[in-house]
């Protein structure tokens, strides 16, 4: 007896568009469970972003990464390199220099940097802060005004600051915003409810459900995304149907496997190869669990993940 394939038709979810004109990219809008593109004609594939910071990477042991940015002296030049990288759908600029515990750049300096970056960027732009809550709020308020009309995605608003960030980015200047919750389906949903109650349209919200590198409690990330996608697609839960974006690189490049030098861990071998695989494996696992967009750092990981998504379509 032959195998009987059952039809699995699901309603496409809403997508969030970032960037403008021909360069705009849609995030989300899937109509199948994650990567199950054989179930239905695909409405929109997952997107791959590349991140860079205003401060250049420490690429001492990462020759391939260094090569990708070879000759780029200014932030604008590095952004241009990133945007042209193979497989890149959008660019994520992290304003690490703003960190009050670090370089503590002023809001004005950051605005200037972001404007230069935006001018040089040929792909849609996504802006992440420096993980200092007070600074990010000030930063996003100023950046939203300075980048008016460019339809930027801001990462991220949390339950504590969604009002200010949501109002400044989406309501005042028509950008997009990611709501960040800490790996919990109900917290994610609550934040979506709160943001929509504030008046932010569903079409302007992306979910940043939190992340982890594989091996570091990734089961929570995976199960949370499994449940979010089941709720969105199979139970029609409108408050969980926003697209999911995952900052993979910030997680994977912060763990031992991607940081310990070969001198410290000789048996582990080449550091760059380890970092690439950590990032690639985590990114693939995120996509399989439900990320509609992943943000990566290494050009090899970006290329391979983008190609893999294409191969699955």
Partner 1 sequence: MSVDTKLIAASAIRGAHNAVAEAKDFLARAITAKGIDAAVSFPDTNYALPVIYSMLGVKVQKLSDMQAVIDRCEKLLPAGPSEHNWLPYLGDTLDAGMATLFAFEIIEGCKYLIGPNPVNGIWLGAASDVILRARGIEFVDGSAPGFAAIVGAAPSKEAAVRIARELQEKNLYTFIAGNTNGVSFAEQLDEAGVQTGWETRLVPFGKDISAAVYALGFANRAALAFGNIQPGDYKRNLKYNKDRVFAFVMALGEVTDEKYAAAAGAISYGFPTIADTDIPEILPTGICTYEHVVSSIPIDSIVEKCLEVRGCKVKVTKMPIPVSYGAAFEGERIRREQTFVEFGGNRTHAFEYVTTRELDEIENGKVTVIGPDIDQVVPGNALPLGIWVEVAGRKMQPDFEAILERQIHHIINGAEGVWHMGQRDQGWLRISKSAQERGFTFRHFGDMVRVKLTNDYQAIVDKIQVTIFTTAEEVDRRLPEIRQVYRARNQRVESLTDDSVDTFYSCLLCQSFAPNHVCVITPERLGLCGAFNWLDGKAAYEIDPTGGNQPLLKGECIDPIRGQWKNINDYVYTTSKHAIDTVNAYSMMEYPMTSCGCFEAIVAVMPECNGVMMVNREYMGDTPSGMKFSTMASMAGGGQQVPGFIGVGKNYATSRKFIAAEGGHKRIVWMPTSLKEALREDLELIGKRLGIDNFLENICDETITTESEGVMEFMAKVNHPALAMWDITEPSPEAAAVDAAREAVAHG
Partner 2 sequence: MALKGLDIFKLTPKTNCKECNQPTCMAFAMKVASGAIALTDCPHMSAAALDKFASATEPPMKTIDIGAGECAYKLGGETVLLRHDKTLVNSNLYGICISADMPDAAIEAALTEMTKIDYERIGKRMYVECVYVKCNSDAVRSAEVAVKAVASGRVPVLDCADPDIAKSVLGAIKEAKPVLCGANAANWEAMNAVAKAADAVLGVSGADLNELHDTVEKLEAAGNKKLILDVGSVSIKDAFANAVEIRRAALKDGDRTFGYPSIVNLAALAPGDLVTQAALASIFTLRYGSIILMERIGYAEALPLFGLRQNIYTDPQKPMRVTPGLYPIGGANENSVCCLTVDFALSYFIVSGEIERSRVPVNLLIPDAGGYSVLTAWAAGKLSASSIAKFIQEFEIDTKIKNHTLILPGKVAVLKGDLEAKLPDWKIVVGPNEAIQLVKFLSTIN
Looking at residue 40, the DSSP 8-state letter turns out to be S
Nearer to partner 2, 195 or 248 (CB): 248
What gap in Å lies between CA 39 and CA 29, rounded to an integer?
15
Q: Are 127 and 133 in contact (CB under 8 A)?
A: no
Judged by CB under 8 A, which of 63, 100, 102, 199 binds partner 1? 199
- The encoded tokens of residue 184 equal 């919990």
- Alpha carbon 152 to chain centroid distance? 12
**Total number of residues binding partner 1 (CB under 8 A)?**
28
- Alpha carbon 172 to chain centroid distance? 23
Helix ranges restricted to H, the chain: 63-68, 75-84, 107-120, 133-146, 162-166, 185-197, 218-229, 248-252, 256-259, 271-289, 299-312
**Residue 135 binding partner per list partner 2, partner 1, none, with a CB distance cut-off of 5 to 8 Å that depends on partner kind:** none
Min. distance of Cβ 209 from partner 2 in angstroms? 14
**Residue 9 binding partner per list partner 1, partner 2, none, with a CB distance cut-off of 5 to 8 Å that depends on partner kind:** none
**Residue 127 binding partner per list partner 1, partner 2, none, with a CB distance cut-off of 5 to 8 Å that depends on partner kind:** none
What gap in Å lies between CA 201 and CA 183, rounded to an integer?
23
Binding string, residues 3-22; x marks residues near partner 2 by CB under 8 A: xxxx----------------
- The encoded tokens of residue 297 equal 């750092």
**Residue 304 binding partner per list partner 1, partner 2, none, with a CB distance cut-off of 5 to 8 Å that depends on partner kind:** partner 2
Binding to partner 2 by residue 248, rule CB under 8 A?
no
**Residues in contact with partner 2 by the rule CB under 8 A:** 1-6, 35-38, 101, 131, 213-220, 222-223, 226-227, 230, 254-257, 259, 267-270, 273-274, 276-278, 280-285, 287-289, 300-301, 304-305, 307-308, 311-313
């Amino acid at each position: 007896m032959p195998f009987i394939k059952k039809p699995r038709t699901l309603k496409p979810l809403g997508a969030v568009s970032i960037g403008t004109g021909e360069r705009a990219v849609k995030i989300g809008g899937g109509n199948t469970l994650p990567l199950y593109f054989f179930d239905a004609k695909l409405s929109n594939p997952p997107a791959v972003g590349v991140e860079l910071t205003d401060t250049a990477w420490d690429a001492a042991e990462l020759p391939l990464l260094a090569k990708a940015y070879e000759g780029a002296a200014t932030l604008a030049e590095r952004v241009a390199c990133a945007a042209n990288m193979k497989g890149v759908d959008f660019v994520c600029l992290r304003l690490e220099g703003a960190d009050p515990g670090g370089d503590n750049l002023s809001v004005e300096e950051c605005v200037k940097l972001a404007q230069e970056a935006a001018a040089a960027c040929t792909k849609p732009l996504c802006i992440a802060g420096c993980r200092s809550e007070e600074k990010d709020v000030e930063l996003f308020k100023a950046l939203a005004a300075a980048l008016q009309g460019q339809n930027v995605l801001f990462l991220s608003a949390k339950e504590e600051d969604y009002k200010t960030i949501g109002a400044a980015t989406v309501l005042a200047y028509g950008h997009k915003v990611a709501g960040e919750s800490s790996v919990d389906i109900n917290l994610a949903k609550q934040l979506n409810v709160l943001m929509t109650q504030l008046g932010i349209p569903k079409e302007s919200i992306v979910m940043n459900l939190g992340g982890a590198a594989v091996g570091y409690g990734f089961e929570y990330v995976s199960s949370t995304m499994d449940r979010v996608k089941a709720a969105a697609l199979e139970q029609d839960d409108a408050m969980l149907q926003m697209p999911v974006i995952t900052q993979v690189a910030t997680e994977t490049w912060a763990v031992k496997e991607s940081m310990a030098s070969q001198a410290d861990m000789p048996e582990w071998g080449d550091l760059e190869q380890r970092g690439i695989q950590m990032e690639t494996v985590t990114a693939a696992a995120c996509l399989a669990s439900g990320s509609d967009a992943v943000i990566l750092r290494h050009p090899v990981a970006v290329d391979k993940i983008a190609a893999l998504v294409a191969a699955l379509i």
